[in-house]
């Protein structure tokens, strides 16, 4: 009988404890969620502060005290971000060898003429990404791949296996690309002849510049860059 009473008392005690423990568990879970939310909010605020300072915008408190229309805000953000990266590209361009043929003068207010041209055929459409990659130094040639991949040991062109595959070889010299190159160079020389420029008389760097970006020539001849690139 005493054993039964003890068992009953123990059961009642457990019943009394369960709600309290459950309540504590709920409070603990709520506390963790609150702290996680608090941390997320703090992170978001710090990110906003960082972005505002990066793009030389006003502090967040200024915009809270001086609310602007959505259209004005969107326009301001687009213009500010564009100007920031425009300046960055122009300033950093001389430091990167791969960007040596990229003309940045017209980027101060407009996008590059290459991105404005109308692609009239699938050939034009296919050419543009390759040309942009070559112009920005992001096209992976064998000479660049060997610096990126330890397993690569031979910088020679994989097409002709005669010379190191750099931008000069790829655009002007590779025999395996001769047929494709001649068709493209015919278009370029025709354009240059109209401007009284002999392609064969140009230096190697000038040839590469004219193949990749004719903007400097167009500017010198007072022509629209879009009409010649």
> Is 46 part of a structural domain of the chain?
yes
Claim to verify: residue 143 and residue 40 sit in the same structural domain: no
> Is 160 part of a structural domain of the chain?
yes
Claim to verify: residue 124 and residue 221 sit in the same structural domain: yes
Distance CA 147, CA 114 (A): 29
Beta strands (DSSP E) in the chain are: none
Read off the pLDDT of residues 11-51 as tens digits, 9 standing for 90 and up.
Answer: 545 544 445 545 555 666 666 777 777 778 888 888 888 88
Residue 102 has pLDDT above 60, yes or no: yes
- Contacts of residue 90, defined as CB under 8 A and 6 or more positions apart, other chains included, come to 104, 107, 108
Distance CA 18, CA 24 (A): 10
What count of Cα atoms within 13 Å lies in the side-chain half-sphere of residue 113?
Answer: 20
Claim to verify: residue 25 and residue 125 sit in the same structural domain: no
Claim to verify: residue 54 and residue 137 sit in the same structural domain: no
Residue after which a domain boundary falls, among 46, 65, 84: 65
**Residue 204 belongs to what domain range?**
115-228
**Which comes out higher in pLDDT, residue 122 or 199?**
199
> Is 72 part of a structural domain of the chain?
no
> Is 22 part of a structural domain of the chain?
yes
Average pLDDT, the chain: 77
Q: Which of 109-113, 156-160, 222-226 has the highest mean pLDDT?
A: 156-160
Residue after which a domain boundary falls, among 49, 65, 81: 65
Distance CA 203, CA 11 (A): 97
CB 86 within 8 A of CB 79: no
Residue after which a domain boundary falls, among 65, 80, 105: 65
pLDDT cut 90: percent of the chain above it? 9
> Is 43 part of a structural domain of the chain?
yes
Distance CA 191, CA 214 (A): 10
Residue 227 has pLDDT above 70, yes or no: no
Claim to verify: residue 159 and residue 221 sit in the same structural domain: yes
CA pseudo-torsion sign 98, 101, 107, 112: negative
Claim to verify: residue 52 and residue 119 sit in the same structural domain: no
Q: How confident is the model at residue 226 (pLDDT cuts 50, 70, 90)?
A: low
Read off the pLDDT of residues 134-187 as tens digits, 9 standing for 90 and up.
Answer: 888 888 888 877 777 766 678 889 899 899 999 999 999 999 999 989 988 888
What pLDDT does residue 126 have? 77
Read off the pLDDT of residues 56-91 as tens digits, 9 standing for 90 and up.
Answer: 888 888 888 988 888 988 898 888 888 888 888 778
Segment 114-124 shows an average pLDDT of 67
Both tokens assigned to 4: 């039964």
């Amino acid at each position: 009988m005493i054993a039964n009473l003890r068992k009953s008392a123990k059961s009642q005690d457990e019943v009394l404890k369960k709600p309290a423990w459950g309540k504590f568990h709920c409070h603990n879970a709520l506390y963790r969620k609150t702290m996680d939310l608090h941390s997320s909010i703090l992170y978001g605020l710090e990110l906003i502060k960082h972005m505002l300072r990066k793009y030389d915008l006003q502090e967040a408190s200024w915009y809270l005290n001086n609310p602007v229309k959505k259209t004005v805000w969107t326009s301001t953000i687009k213009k500010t971000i564009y100007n920031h990266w425009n300046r960055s590209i122009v300033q950093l361009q001389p430091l990167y060898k791969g960007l040596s043929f990229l003309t940045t003068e017209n980027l101060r207010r407009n996008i590059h003429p290459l991105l404005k041209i109308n692609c009239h055929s699938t050939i034009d459409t296919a050419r543009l990404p390759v040309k942009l990659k070559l112009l920005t130094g992001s096209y992976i040639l064998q000479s660049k791949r060997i610096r990126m991949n330890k397993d690569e040991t031979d910088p020679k062109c994989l097409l002709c296996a005669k010379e190191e595959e750099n931008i000069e070889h790829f655009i002007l010299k590779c025999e395996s690309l001769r047929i494709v190159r001649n068709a493209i160079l015919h278009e370029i020389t025709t354009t240059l002849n109209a401007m009284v420029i002999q392609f064969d008389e140009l230096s190697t760097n000038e040839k590469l510049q004219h193949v990749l970006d004719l903007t400097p020539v167009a500017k010198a001849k007072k022509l629209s860059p879009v009409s010649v690139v």
